[in-house]
Chains A and B, each alone.
Chain A
Amino acid sequence: MNGGRIYKRPDNGEHPKIGIYAGQGASHSWLWFVEIFDRMGFYDIRFLTEAHLKADGLDGCQVLAMSGGDTFAVAQGLGPEGADNLQRFIEDGGLYIGSCAGAYLPLHSSKEHLNLFNFVPARIANLTRTLPEAQRLKEKFCTAYGCSFIFHPVREAVQVATNGFEPFSKTPSLRAPLYGGPPMVARESAQVLATYSGFTDKTVFLVDEQLARDTVLGKAAVIRQKMGKGCLHLYGPHFEHPRFSVANQLLTDAMLWDLSKERFPAGDGDPDKETFCGPACERLMKDIKREVSNSRITAVSLETLPVQWTIRNKVYETAKIREFIEPVWQRIRRLEKLNQIVLLPGQDELLLQHAVEMTTVLREVKRGVRKGVNTLHAAKKMFETLNRTATLFLEIYFRTKLNLDRNVYT
């Protein structure tokens, strides 16, 4: 099935500069981008919030990866300044990769906040004024969209057919998971790279099967849109999901296809960085590991309890907690083996502070759930802390990997 080329990063030490949105509107799926970029050896990664995107966070970036989450929260958080910066970024040669919520964001809309991001002439096919009957997963089946609703006809793996255009030309068909992303109807200049072509034995139908077929099949799953010198790639399904390697390969192939060489930056962007080696590194890693282990143990324990939280428009099950912790946990071991970490001044103390907070708030949530009290407020704080800790740790991880990789070439 994997007819695409296997990408290898140019072996000259150059890394595409990638920004991954991990702000308040993001769910956990930005960590899937982390996973595949790490696997591909792209280490020049920065994590961006609304504040970064409203300021100069995109300067020097070649790619912005906008993952799943709450599109309204993202649009509201970015506001006009963020929208202007994003438009400028793309028109100047940047590449926007939007997946799921990140795909909805730049589609044409008349809704407040969203209408700031009318970059791609395509229609959302799963938008309705009259909600169909949900057959299962009622809490995940729809989202209010002004006076209308976005409903999600299916979840899990669907079949996607590519349309013969580069860079997807060598892979005729593949599977990718759909977790609320859009089926789209492209107009004008929007190029359809792939179409929803069928369902799979893993597909879960949230509405009547015929309605699901009518709503999804034949609609655009991946759209490519040129804009100025740059480009947008919009993915309804999560091509970045780490368990779908063919989809991962296509996503990165496409990224490299449209990567602007003009925006390739030179030099080291972190002149203030510090390197911790030997005992200092061991001590810090042990302190971080202690807290991440404590959090992980509580997270596993929470998974046995029947609780979930609706935060903004998204439902968070307890299993989502470990989506933030595991990527950190796995990489702690890698850093331990390197016995070296590269960070900016103060990041060691800040990371430890975040990690301690993470353990504290997880235990607070666990205690609350056990006692049967309302834990929504604590859960919000918990997911914010998880996000903050994962972001900072991964920033340090990628800086370390990038530094080591660059040292190989200098």
Chain B
Amino acid sequence: MEYLTSDKIGIVDLATGEIIEEELEDDWVLEKIGGAGITKFLYDRFEDEDPVVLGTGLLTGTLIPGSASGVITAKSPLTGRVSHVPLNLNAGMELKYSGFDYMVIKGASEKPVYLWVHDGIADLNDADDLWGKDVWAATDHIRDIMGDDLIQVLGIGEAGEKGSELSQVCINYWQSADRMGFGNLFGGKRLKLIAIRGMGLLEIAEPEAFVENCAELLSAVQSGAAIGTRGIAAMAAVLGEEDIESWLKPLTHKHMACFNTPIPTNTFVFLDEDPARLEETRIEEPGFLLTDIFPLLAFKRLGLAAADACRVLRTCAKYGIDGAAVAELSEKAGLTDPEAIKNSLPGLKGPVSTSGDTVFSPWAAIGNQEKGAWTRRQAVAYIFGLHPIFALAAPELTEEKLLDISSLGTELELTAETLDEVIAGITG
């Protein structure tokens, strides 16, 4: 596969330490397009070896608006379904440029390891120094020893190491969209983290037309209804939770978008520093990046102050546990004291409803949409590599446009029928 890819799939056998590489066949792209279409295909191929499959959408990391997402596909320990979780912030983009389009991680290691993916090289390294560290400390450690703060880290904390079914694969220091308990899979494989740095390049078959089409789409999106939505509270307001804005506002420092996504879906709050401060803070980590609406809403319902809710989420992120699940279980247990909630994390067990009842993470809220339409839109986002929330908010990114641009980028004839088949294959 020549265009929009690195043309490489890494297959990591944790049991033996062996890493082999395969080429990405044109036919696979013609039949499965990309993203979840191909991660599911690879999952099925290695199903007997309990794989976790990482991948990027066909358009991840390109100029198309919202091209932020990669995907993790595996069998959810919580639902028993083969499920998909998006990789946002800069993780999807970095994976796209790391020299691998897909990475199959199969088997389990006897000792703690981490995977270092960069420039088409995948190295499995000893993680004795990392095992036992919380998510933040592990992220700091790996960035320090590798000498780069832009490395994206998909890692687990104590929750994953100890086999919590609610554990999460976090992205760097922050909570991710992993509501499927994939952190538990990492822990079972003794895989502490995957560090990714992408400094590669992508070739585009028809670059001028591709860029022109992306620019047109961006203009269309910028004229759309969603473009003024800024930050996590504003997105909650779209779901009818208007009063969260005033609740969170005193802590709000800035809003942050995932890679090339026109609406910022994340909000950085300052907990140990004046949020209005414009100068660079001298505190090593003054706050927390809110990436998920649901736990915030749940903690608010429990009556927690915004700062307390954010502090609980910070503890969840360090521990590597899904904040949405913690919030739901706290609600069920009637826990309203933030310290009591934090103390409850070790040993916390489900069942929880936060995994939803589809194969996609319900992190991108369904809101008032019809479920079938939501599912199809999520499938499209996971196949092409679009930010799943942005894909819902930007109907201008039509399936037809996405197929056209993909064909311009790859020189392959991708059709609506193929897309229908791929979606059917993923959603089962």
Residues of A within 8 A of B (CB): 286, 289-290, 293-294, 296-298, 300-302, 304, 362-363, 366-367, 370
Contacts and interface: CB of A to CB of B under 8 A. Distances in A.
Interface of A is mostly: helix
A301 B119 CA distance: 15
Contacts of A290: 121, 123
Contacts of B120: 289
A164 B204 CA distance: 46
Interface residues of B, number: 15
Nearest to B198: A297
Contacts, number: 44
B156 to A, nearest CB: 23
Given A302-B147, A370-B144, 7 more contacts: A289-B119, A289-B120, A289-B121, A294-B118, A301-B149, A363-B145, A367-B147
A362 B199 CA distance: 17
Contact of B121 (A286, A300, A302, A367): A286
A297 B149 contact: no
A297 B121 contact: no
Interface in B253-299: none
Contact of A301 (B118, B121, B145, B147): B147
A367 B146 CA distance: 10
Contacts of A366: 147-148
Contacts of B237: none
B199 A300 contact: yes
B305 interface: no
A397 B197 CA distance: 27
27 contacts: A286-B121, A289-B120, A289-B121, A290-B121, A293-B121, A293-B199, A294-B118, A294-B146, A296-B119, A296-B199, A297-B118, A297-B119, A297-B146, A297-B147, A297-B148, A297-B197, A297-B199, A298-B147, A300-B148, A300-B150, A301-B147, A301-B149, A301-B150, A362-B147, A363-B145, A366-B148, A367-B147
The 5 closest A-B pairs by CB, nearest first: A298-B147, A293-B119, A301-B148, A363-B147, A366-B147
A124 to B, nearest CB: 41
Interface in B99-134: 118-121, 123
Contacts of B145: 363
Contact of B144 (A293, A296, A302, A367): A367
Contacts of B146: 294, 297-298, 363
B139 to A, nearest CB: 15
Contacts of B149: 301, 304
B174 to A, nearest CB: 20
Interface of B: 118-121, 123, 144-151, 197, 199
Contacts of B144: 367, 370
Contact of B148 (A286, A289, A298): A298
Contacts of A301: 147-150
B389 to A, nearest CB: 29
A363 B147 CA distance: 5
A378 to B, nearest CB: 12
Contacts of A302: 147
Nearest to B99: A293
Contacts of B147: 294, 297-298, 301-302, 362-363, 366-367
A294 B147 CA distance: 9
B142 to A, nearest CB: 12
A318 to B, nearest CB: 12
A296 B121 CA distance: 13
Nearest to A302: B147
A289 B123 CA distance: 12
Contacts of B121: 286, 289-290, 293
A200 to B, nearest CB: 30
B12 to A, nearest CB: 15
A300 B198 CA distance: 12
A294 B199 CA distance: 11
B66 to A, nearest CB: 26
B359 to A, nearest CB: 35
A1 to B, nearest CB: 27
Contacts of A289: 119-121
The residue among A297, A302, A370 with the most chain B CB atoms within 10 A of its own CB is: A297
Contacts of A297: 118-119, 146-148, 151, 197, 199
Nearest to A298: B147
A233 to B, nearest CB: 37
A293 B123 CA distance: 12
Nearest to B147: A298
B424 to A, nearest CB: 40
Nearest to A362: B147
A339 B207 CA distance: 30
Contacts of A363: 145-147
A301 to B, nearest CB: 4
A356 to B, nearest CB: 13
A369 to B, nearest CB: 10
